[in-house]
Amino acid sequence: MNIKSLLLGSAAALAAVSGAQAADAIVAAEPEPMEYVRVCDAFGTGYFYIPGTETCLKISGFIRVQGDFGRDAADNKWENPLQSTSDWDVFSRAYLAFDAKSDTEYGTLTGFFAAEFNADADSDDGDSLIDVDEAYIQLGGLKAGFFYSWWDKGLNGETDTLGNNTEFNSIAYLYDGGSFQAGISVDELEAATTKANGVGVAGIVSASVGGVSFDLLGGFDTELEEGAIRGLLSADLGPGTFQIAGIWASNPNAYWDDSEWTVAASYAFKATDKFKITPGAQYYGDLQNGNDFDSGLDKWTAGVTLDYAITEGLASRLSVQYEDRDTVGGGSEDQVKGFLRLQRDF
């Protein structure tokens, strides 16, 4: 065997060993394809598809810092703090909402949940709390769960009060015909009436034409067998929106128990694209006295709300209100109250 044959044989042997080792080498698996989040524009801005489903989800909320002022402003802010009788108080709030929607053969299916995280002072029990704001299921016009009733709707600004208890566990149906709406709800009046689990019925009829809208709302407390009706008119007028509302109640009930009747008005004047001025006033006739309205006492409130959009997503609001209330014996008591708020929406 010559040198050339020996070299060729050695090379062949090395190639065979290298091939065997190559066959045993670990080969890295190729990565699985990643499903990126897709934008869902079927229900408006801010929604995205939950990966692997046809359900659209929107996450939103705000962070608020607010300072209240007025008589005993720091007292009774939450459930039962009773921490002071200071005439001013500062608190912070985080609000987080999840809105899930999908199309079905019966209409849009919605699941909504929102919670408030309030922080007033960690040193006092009860001052910082988590509160479920809303939690409901909606299919088409049918809605069930814990949510704000139609009594929660008020006027622009911060002067008016047009509903006492405005959030219940309810079953409601709303027919939406665009410019015409009609709805009815059955509400559990827990802790708002004479029995632990009273029942209320509310109904609404709304219409809008051009820049004018009107709704007529009624509520009946079956435990007290008393009710209230409310009308609210809104109209675009000049550079702003004028609103007026009135309530009449047969006697104190879960929906309205401040007075036998009241009338309120406001005008939201858009001074610039960022600055809005909203003066308002409200008068209450025959304030509540025990279980009826035969007190002969009145109250009125007047004030102004200033809104300024600092930048996109960041806004401020200043509310200053004057209140004058009759007292038993022919006297009266008054106060100035309000708040300064800074809020970042997302």
Residue 224 and residue 193 in contact, taking contact as beta carbons nearer than 8 Å: yes
Domain identity same for 85 and 185 = no
Domain-located, residue 16: no
Residue 26, pLDDT score = 63
Domain that holds residue 252: 147-303
pTM of the model: 0.84
How many angstroms separate the CA atoms of 93 and 76, rounded?
Answer: 16
Domain identity same for 153 and 134 = no
Domain-located, residue 234: yes
Which structure tokens are listed for 282?
Answer: 């409200």
Domain-located, residue 308: no
How many angstroms separate the CA atoms of 35 and 231, rounded?
Answer: 51
Domain identity same for 161 and 298 = yes
- Phi first, then psi: give them for residue 2, nearest 5 degrees: -90, 175
Select from 84, 115, 140 the last residue of a domain: 140
Domain-located, residue 96: yes
Domain identity same for 113 and 170 = no
Domain identity same for 120 and 47 = yes
Nearest to residue 127, comparing CAs of 83, 71, 65, 67?
83
Domain identity same for 115 and 228 = no
Domain-located, residue 22: no
Above pLDDT 90, what percent of the chain? 73
Select from 106, 140, 174 the last residue of a domain: 140
- Phi first, then psi: give them for residue 154, nearest 5 degrees: -130, -165
Residue 275 and residue 304 in contact, taking contact as beta carbons nearer than 8 Å: no
Domain-located, residue 18: no
Domain identity same for 164 and 274 = yes
Q: Report the residue count for the chain.
A: 346
Average pLDDT, the chain: 88
Q: Return the ∠ at Cα 149 (arms to 223 and 145), rounded to 5°.
A: 90
Residue 247, pLDDT score = 98
Domain identity same for 177 and 232 = yes
Domain identity same for 184 and 129 = no
DSSP line for 42-63: TTSTTEEEPTTSS-EEEEEEEE
Domain-located, residue 246: yes
> What is the number of structural domains in the chain?
2
Residue 161 and residue 150 in contact, taking contact as beta carbons nearer than 8 Å: no
- In Å, how far from its chain's centre is CA 68? 20
Over its length of 346 residues, how does the chain's per-residue pLDDT go in tens digits?
454 454 445 545 444 544 544 445 566 666 666 667 899 999 999 999 999 999 999 999 999 999 999 887 665 555 444 555 678 889 999 999 999 999 999 999 999 999 999 998 766 555 678 999 999 999 999 999 999 999 999 999 999 999 999 999 999 999 999 999 999 999 999 888 767 778 999 999 999 999 999 999 999 999 999 999 999 999 999 999 999 999 999 999 999 999 999 999 999 999 999 999 999 999 999 999 878 898 899 999 999 999 999 999 999 999 999 999 998 877 889 999 999 999 999 9
Domain-located, residue 276: yes
Residue 132: strand pairing partners: 115
